[in-house]
Amino acid sequence: MTSLSVLLEQARADLAEDYASESHQRLVGTAQRELALDSLWLGAAPSGANPDVQHQEAWRQVNEVMNTVRMLMTFKAGDPQVSREALVQRAEEQLSKAREARRQMTVGA
């Protein structure tokens, strides 16, 4: 989750950048690489037979963060800036929920 946290910090800092800027294009490339690695790390969804509800919730939230960041990286010139900001905020909230679910996993262990 650390790489997602760093990626979201970079995405928040990038909000002021134009879509065509070099720094934004670098962020898009970085996001694509990080999300590919994070997808491998995350693996398949926990099976329904997995009784650990917190593990399932943590997986779901991390997956949602990654999907939100993917969506964020597809924005092009003319797309509303407010939508970009809302996606960053949504991803940050999802990551917070994933961290809480992970914390609950360790508390219950």
Q: Token pair for residue 19?
A: 């879509």
pLDDT of residue 32: 94
pTM, 2 dp? 0.85
Give the model confidence (pLDDT) of 50-98 as tens digits. Answer: 667 888 888 899 999 999 999 999 988 888 888 899 999 999 999 999 8
80 C-beta neighbours (distance < 10 Å), count:
9
What is the rounded CA–CA span in Å between residue 67 and residue 61? Answer: 10
Q: Token pair for residue 50?
A: 């997995």
pLDDT of residue 1: 59
Taking the domains of the chain in order of start, what are their residue ranges?
A: 2-108
What is the rounded CA–CA span in Å between residue 45 and residue 55? Answer: 10
What is the rounded CA–CA span in Å between residue 81 and residue 64? Answer: 21
